[in-house]
């Protein structure tokens, strides 16, 4: 167990104090360049945007990159975010009172711990409501006043006005995915720019895989083509697959293959396995948790069919 001093030392070493200093590797070709341009247009016109797309298409990293650009242009611009689910309550956005201090001193400012939305409003930073349609309508409604009036009411303390540079973004999965809620009509009315992201084109997706590989991992272009064909096959099979493999699955397969290639450097030529053998084994482990089958369909059978079709295994 880490002692307190060591914990504080490690925490301070790893703390991201300024998003403008964080290295964010991103591909901005195709739809991503257009989406970034729309985010900048929304910022310039004080219109709040939403990014809509299936899991794993890069919504969050695009928001982080956009927030880093804002921070580079103005050091006061911070980045706060909150990922939603049904357990999210208004206090997760705004903040809450420390029970111990409140018992001693009452509902005073000293006892209040601000939430990420309030921090962004005070500092004029960027706030991302991630997977907003996984929150209940009750929690979604916390955003109505900040988006309409640029203010927020804090129980027992009063109402604060947001900094003029405060900027709100939300990201969400398509409504047809399980676990999502419909956005309230009041909230939808306050979101004026809708940016749709889909699975990227082939060249862009391959660029994303390349940029996420460690430098010492060497993968041939023909191998990347095979990986892409595997991921693409999951997206074409709409009969058996409810949610196909995302870009993350392609990155995972490529990293595992790169690791195998690194380990086999010391082997003799006759001891090395073919890429088809490696990929057949890797795909079984990666796709097992990367695709969601239709009800009644076994995911193992889907994977075997994909391997047979793309790798001939």
- State whether 152 and 9 are in the same domain: yes
Instruction: Using the 3D structure, point to which of 196, 214, 235 is the last residue of a domain.
Output: 196
Mode of pairing for the β-strands spanning 193-196 and 241-243: unpaired
CA nearest neighbour of 188 among 139, 238, 147: 147
H helix or E strand, kind and range, residue 195 = strand 193-196
- State whether 61 and 156 are in the same domain: yes
- State whether 223 and 255 are in the same domain: yes
For 92-112, the pLDDT digits (tens) are 999 999 999 999 999 999 999
* Cα–Cα distance, 310 to 307 (Å, whole number): 5
Structural domain for 262, as ranges: 202-311
Instruction: Using the 3D structure, point to which of 162, 196, 230 is the last residue of a domain.
Output: 196
**Residue whose entry in the numeric block shows the structure tokens 């899991």:** 55
- State whether 126 and 89 are in the same domain: yes
Total domains, the chain: 2
- The pLDDT value given to residue 45: 96
- The pLDDT value given to residue 164: 94
Give me the CATH number covering residue 114.
3.40.50.300
For 207-266, the pLDDT digits (tens) are 999 999 998 898 999 999 999 999 999 999 999 999 999 999 999 999 999 998 888 776
Whole-Å CA distances, 116 to 83, 202, 284: 11, 36, 39
3-class state of residue 303 by DSSP: helix
- State whether 192 and 214 are in the same domain: no
- State whether 49 and 190 are in the same domain: yes
Instruction: Using the 3D structure, point to which of 196, 224, 256 is the last residue of a domain.
Output: 196
Give me the CATH number covering residue 228.
1.10.8.80
């Amino acid at each position: 167990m880490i002692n307190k001093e060591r914990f504080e030392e490690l925490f301070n070493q790893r703390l991201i104090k300024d998003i403008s200093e964080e290295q964010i590797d991103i591909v901005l070709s195709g739809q991503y360049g257009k989406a970034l341009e729309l985010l900048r247009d929304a910022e310039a016109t004080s219109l709040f945007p939403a990014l809509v797309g299936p899991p794993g298409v890069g919504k969050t990293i695009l928001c982080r990159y956009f927030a880093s650009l804002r921070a580079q242009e103005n050091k006061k611009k911070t980045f706060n975010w909150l990922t939603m689910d049904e357990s999210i309550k208004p206090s997760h956005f705004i903040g809450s009172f420390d029970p111990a201090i409140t018992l001693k001193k009452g509902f005073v400012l000293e006892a209040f711990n601000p939430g990420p939305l309030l921090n962004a409003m005070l500092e004029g930073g960027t706030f991302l409501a991630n997977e907003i349609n996984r929150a209940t309508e009750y929690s979604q409604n916390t955003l109505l006043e900040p988006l309409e009036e640029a203010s927020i009411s804090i129980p027992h303390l009063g109402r604060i006005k947001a900094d003029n540079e405060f900027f709100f973004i939300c990201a969400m999965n398509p409504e047809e995915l399980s676990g999502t809620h419909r956005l309230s009509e009041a909230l939808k009315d306050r979101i004026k720019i809708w940016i749709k992201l889909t699975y990227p084109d082939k060249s862009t997706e391959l660029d994303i895989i390349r940029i996420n590989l460690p430098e010492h991992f060497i993968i041939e272009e023909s191998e990347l083509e095979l990986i892409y064909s595997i991921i693409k096959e999951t997206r074409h099979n709409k009969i058996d697959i409810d949610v196909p493999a995302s870009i993350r699955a392609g990155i995972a397969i490529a990293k595992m293959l790169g690791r195998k290639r690194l380990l086999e450097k010391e082997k003799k030529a006759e001891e090395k396995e073919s890429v088809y053998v490696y990929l057949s084994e890797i795909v079984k482990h990666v796709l097992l948790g990367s695709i969601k089958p239709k009800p009644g369909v076994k995911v193992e059978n889907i994977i075997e069919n994909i391997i047979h079709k793309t790798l001939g295994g």
